[in-house]
Structure 1
Amino acid sequence: MPSERSPCDSGRGLLARGGVLTVEGGGVLTGRLARAMSFDLTEPNVQEQVISLGTLIADLLGVFSGSVLGALLAERRKMDLMGFLVLGLVSGVGGGILRDTLLQVGPPLVLVKPAYLVAAFSGAFAAFIFELRHGPTVKLLSALDALTLGSFAVAGTQRTLEVGLSPGTAVLIGIITAAGGGIIRDVLIRRTPTVMRPEPGYYALAALAASLVCLAFSLTGHRRLALVAGMAVGAAVRLISVRKGWRLPVKRTREVPRKGDDFGGPGEDESWTKP
């Protein structure tokens, strides 16, 4: 009598023979699906592959959403399609390029994995084609902002751990990955970087929280949960701090605030949610 036990109960319910996959309890799968599913989740090397895949997915989510936000700033500046693509690309992959350059583990992933460019340009084209800065999509943009930060922070932290560097370095690289693309983007458009502006909502602190949670789960042996937990915490800190109007303290001075940023450019209240 066939066993009622699910193949997922033990992680060993899938047996592949010559491209044919037999599932415990009956049933056969053939072809590419069989080859793709013929792995044992209890094997350490398979677990590493799953974790690496999770890191890649988190990275690509950050690239896409970061590209959308960067391209929307191009819309506010009345740029053409090239401006959308440039700011979208920089916002999407700038932090990852900084991360991979600092880690010195070969060329930046954007140069060797086409999926990164596809994600970045897809986000830029989406911002160019659709109207995203008005109406109900404004809330979606806030969620994208938080998702970008959390995704980049955990991807940077996890990738640093994968190359064998210290936990402190992993947290630092996670923050750099989360903030790097935005810093490059803001410098290009002559605006004080978001991470340095006294706006409502924690940015660097949210990235720090995401990196620390990811690190804590990884060091305690729960690496498969580290990515999800880190992203969730980082996004939550960002969203809650924006909604509550929390901000870091600013030094009080007697100087009269002037309109415009340190470069003499447009005002600091510029964002992708305002017309």
Structure 2
Amino acid sequence: MPEPSAIPDIIRVLDLMGVFANGLLGGAVARRHHLDPVGFSVLAIVSALGGGAIRDVLLNLQPVALTDLSYLTTALIAALVAFLVPLEGRRWNQLFPWVDAIALGTWAVVGTQKALSHDIDWLPAILLGVLTACGGGAVRDMMLGRVPVILQRSELYASAAFVGGSTYVLLQLLAPPSVASPVAVVVGGGVCLVARRRGWMLPTEPRWVVVRPKE
């Protein structure tokens, strides 16, 4: 298995872009809750780095946010931008789904790749990829006293991350990481984007369950 340092440079760029995108999302949530600059910073850091930190702790590693200053710096810059610039309007709504989808696919692949490189079997490695992609948002929601979005009836966010990680597991058997990683990112991000545009959601109960009207 390749070492973490073998992650292609393009994946690192996309990874930092994902940190920035989810930092902006954390800042946007902070604005909706009328938080101060400290609140913006905390939610941006948790949203951007929480999933990767949990993954690294489970792998008995130092979280990358503590060993690579560019990650924490990127999250704080995103918090500052979100604090100074209201993230709303048509252009933001058009741009963010694309950035978010790329970030999701990237984190799913990077998390899966890092787990595999530390001798984790393929299925838990994929799940660690899903945790990397979705864990920060889940922690942020719980901090605000909300049920995490990924546990509610919403677009196929966690499912798209699972597809991205699974694609990488299959492709890395046939191609080098420099090929397998970007392709898996596109697949995972593409599923996320298409699901959001088409409104695809997982059912909340089996189709054969008959819901009786309340008397």
TM-score, scaled relative to structure 1: 0.71
Residue 8 of structure 1 aligns with which residue?
Answer: none
Q: CA deviation at 1:56?
A: 3.3
| Counterparts in 2 of 1:81 and 1:226: CA distance versus 1, 3 Å | same
Does 1:100 find its partner at 2:64? no
- Cα separation, 1, equivalents of 2:117 and 2:9: 12
CA RMSD in angstroms comes to: 2.1
Residue 236 of structure 1 aligns with which residue?
Answer: 190
Q: Is the 8 A contact 1:58 1:155 kept in 2?
A: no
Q: Which has the larger radius of gyration?
A: 1
> 1:247-258 residue pairs with structure 2 within 5 A?
247-251=201-205
Q: Secondary structure at the match of 1:164?
A: coil
Q: CA deviation at 1:143?
A: 1.5
Residue 175 of structure 2 aligns with which residue?
Answer: 221
| Counterparts in 2 of 1:120 and 1:247: CA distance versus 1, 3 Å | same
Q: Is the 8 A contact 2:11 2:182 kept in 1?
A: no
Structure 1 or 2: more helix by fraction? 2
Residue 65 of structure 2 aligns with which residue?
Answer: 110
Q: Which runs of 4+ in 1 moved over 6 A?
A: none
Residue 259 of structure 1 aligns with which residue?
Answer: none
Give the one of 27, 46, 55 matched to 1:90.
46
Give the one of 75, 93, 98 matched to 1:138.
93
- Cα separation, 2, equivalents of 1:218 and 1:125: 38
Q: Is the 8 A contact 2:8 2:178 kept in 1?
A: no
- Cα separation, 2, equivalents of 1:254 and 1:86: 45
Give the one of 190, 194, 200 matched to 1:246.
200
The superposition leaves residues 129-170 of structure 1 with CA deviations (integer Å, 9 ceiling, x where unpaired) of: 222211211111212221221121111011112222221221
Q: Secondary structure at the match of 1:87?
A: helix
For 2:119, give the aligned amino acid.
Answer: G
- Cα separation, 2, equivalents of 1:172 and 1:117: 24
Give the one of 60, 64, 82 matched to 1:127.
82
Identity %: 34
TM-score, scaled relative to structure 2: 0.89
Q: Is the 8 A contact 1:171 1:211 kept in 2?
A: yes
Q: Which runs of 5+ in 2 are unaligned?
A: none
| Counterparts in 2 of 1:60 and 1:255: CA distance versus 1, 3 Å | farther
Residue 30 of structure 2 aligns with which residue?
Answer: 74
Q: Is the 8 A contact 2:18 2:102 kept in 1?
A: yes
Q: CA deviation at 1:181?
A: 0.3
Residue 188 of structure 1 aligns with which residue?
Answer: 143
Q: Which runs of 5+ in 1 are unaligned?
A: 1-44, 257-275
- Cα separation, 2, equivalents of 1:53 and 1:143: 20
Q: Secondary structure at the match of 2:7?
A: helix
Q: Secondary structure at the match of 2:201?
A: coil
For 1:206, give the aligned amino acid.
Answer: A
Q: CA deviation at 1:63?
A: 1.4
- Cα separation, 1, equivalents of 2:121 and 2:168: 14
The superposition leaves residues 150-205 of structure 1 with CA deviations (integer Å, 9 ceiling, x where unpaired) of: 12111101111222222122111101111110110000111111111112x21111
For 1:72, give the aligned amino acid.
Answer: A
Q: CA deviation at 1:68?
A: 0.9
Q: Which structure carries more relative contact order (alpha carbon 8 Å, separation 6+)?
A: 2
Q: Secondary structure at the match of 2:87?
A: coil
